[in-house]
Structure 1
Amino acid sequence: MATTDNTRRTYRAAIRSFERWGGRLPTQPATLAAYLSDQAVALNPRTLDVYLTALGRWHQTQGLRDPARDPGVRKTLEGIRRVHGRPKRQARALRLEHIAVFLQTLQQQPDSLKKHRDWALLQVGFFGAFRRSELVTIEVEDLSWEPEGLVVTLPRSKTDPHGEGLKRALPRGNGPVCPV
């Protein structure tokens, strides 16, 4: 199964965590349940869920039975969620007023390429609602200047895993905060 670079990094981190704990691959369901129990205080249940998925995927790619699917392991994780679960932290949304303050601060900086880059990144990122990972992949060839504004074409995105291309239109504005 194809996975993104970020997913592969996360899975490697999960395996390193398991091995640092003393686990060995391949592993048994009882060992996996003990690992989850020991890590429950230090790690968020959602992190443990991702780690469990990674360890299960490792077994699947080796053609082995996935111990993460064992009912005892699933029950252990469910108990951890019940005891140690916490609300998902959601960052507050950035608002237009925040962007305006950032841009005012940038305006006070000496004129430089960095200043213009940061100016563009802030506005294109905000008005295009781009993820950081998407924003850093934008190339000049991905930009299309139109009378109404700018069209950004992302060749790949987390929300476009098959690489069909994702277009975002950024309208031209007439105020101090304008991505075009």
Structure 2
Amino acid sequence: MADLYRLHSASTARNYRQDWVRFASWCADRGISMMPADPEVVAEYVRENAARRSGAGDRMYSIATLNRWVASINYWHRNSGLRVPGEAACVSAAVSSVRGIYRDNGERPTRRAYPLRFGELEEIVDVSRRDATTWVKRARERRDSALLLLGFMGAYRRSELSMLAVDDVTFSRRGDLRVRCGGSHDGPVDDDFVKHVPLSRDHAMCAPCAYRRWLEVVANVHESGRPGVMRLLRGHEEFDSHVCSFAPPVVPDPGVPVFRAIRANGNISAATLSGSAIHAAIRRRAALAGYPDEVVSRVGGQSLRAGATAERLLDVSQLS
């Protein structure tokens, strides 16, 4: 596993591991050897999954996803010193055939995520805070503002946000965040997997401030449950200055997830917020801010990373 993290990014390593578990389960259900895998088995795996459709009738998996699954199968075989099944002609033919079917039927077109730029994010966060008129809405606003600002400032994927635990995030003395985004929690932290998220001049758009405000909610959940969250958020105080330089709230079990689901009655789940739920939360915030349906339909989990990348490219072009 150490080799996997050393040779690939944290997200790629995680995907390869999850993809392999998926393929192993598929093989086990059919009584098929997963290692070494017969190339014809891998080809059938591609064809079968390409044919799967959602309840709405849409293709469930893109060509990019199918290609990644083959790459992960190849990786685990190569790492074990075995013949790589995905390089066989039958597998290449299966992927090419599926690609042609998708193209001919106009299915699974490539849709780039709408990049949320800083000004747009500022508007979304502002509307979210003005809409937070009850303690439950305030809890959701704190969570979603932390998601939006941390995701944008750190250029995070939704999977990285979903997997964050409290002990992955530490504050510096001046309020910056040091965020571990991959690797083992048991060993030393490799700097290759750490991102530094700086504080912003404007407290309203400061990712460390937004994170600390949500961490207050998480700490209250673990200390006194729903009543503690209610006490914290019913006594609403204006957020009118930086809070990131204050000592962060202490969460008794720092291994718990940062981002969790919030039910309609305000109960906060102990389980991590899934990537799809993060995608939906970002889309809801864009809709609340009044963005048209055609934009909202393209906003989601990758919009924060795409927006951060677009802002960096703009900065570079202005300097050149």
Whichever residue aligns with residue 167 of structure 1, its letter is H
- From the superposition, tell whether residues 145 and 113 of structure 1 become closer, same or farther in structure 2 (CA, over 3 Å): farther
Residue 142 of structure 1, aligned match among 162, 166, 170: 170
The gaps in structure 2 that reach 5 residues or longer are: 6-12, 53-60, 184-188, 210-320
Greater share of residues in helix: 2
- Residues 13-162 of structure 1: matches in 2 within 5 Å? 13-20=22-29, 23-25=32-34, 26-42=36-52, 43-85=61-103, 86-94=108-116, 95-96=120-121, 97-106=123-132, 108-110=133-135, 114=139, 117-118=142-143, 121-122=146-147, 124-125=149-150, 128-131=153-156, 132=158, 133-134=160-161, 136-137=164-165, 139=167, 142-144=170-172, 146=174, 150-156=175-181
Counterparts of 2:153 and 2:165, CA distance in 1: 14
Write out per-residue CA displacement over residues 157-177 of structure 1, whole angstroms, 9 at most, x where no aligned residue.
Answer: 59xx95343322231216xx3
- Please give the TM-score of this superposition, normalised by the length of structure 1: 0.70
Counterparts of 1:22 and 1:91, CA distance in 2: 39
Contact 2:177 2:198 in 1 (8 A): yes
Counterparts of 1:63 and 1:123, CA distance in 2: 43
Whichever residue aligns with residue 51 of structure 2, its letter is V
Contact 2:78 2:84 in 1 (8 A): yes
Whichever residue aligns with residue 21 of structure 2, its letter is R
Contact 1:153 1:168 in 2 (8 A): yes
Write out per-residue CA displacement over residues 61-105 of structure 1, whole angstroms, 9 at most, x where no aligned residue.
Answer: 443211111133123212212222533343333432222222222
Counterparts of 1:35 and 1:120, CA distance in 2: 40
Among the aligned pairs, what percent are the same residue?
19
1:6 Cα deviation (Å)? Answer: 4.7
SS in 1 for 2:81: coil
Name 2:295's counterpart in structure 1. none
What is the aligned residue count?
172
The gaps in structure 1 that reach 5 residues or longer are: none
1:151 Cα deviation (Å)? Answer: 2.1
- From the superposition, tell whether residues 122 and 49 of structure 1 become closer, same or farther in structure 2 (CA, over 3 Å): closer
Whichever residue aligns with residue 154 of structure 1, its letter is V
Counterparts of 2:102 and 2:125, CA distance in 1: 37
Whichever residue aligns with residue 84 of structure 2, its letter is D
Contact 1:41 1:84 in 2 (8 A): no
SS in 1 for 2:177: strand
- Please give the TM-score of this superposition, normalised by the length of structure 2: 0.44
SS in 2 for 1:171: coil
Write out per-residue CA displacement over residues 42-69 of structure 1, whole angstroms, 9 at most, x where no aligned residue.
Answer: 2322222122123223323443211111
Name 1:2's counterpart in structure 2. 4
Contact 1:45 1:81 in 2 (8 A): yes
Counterparts of 2:148 and 2:91, CA distance in 1: 46
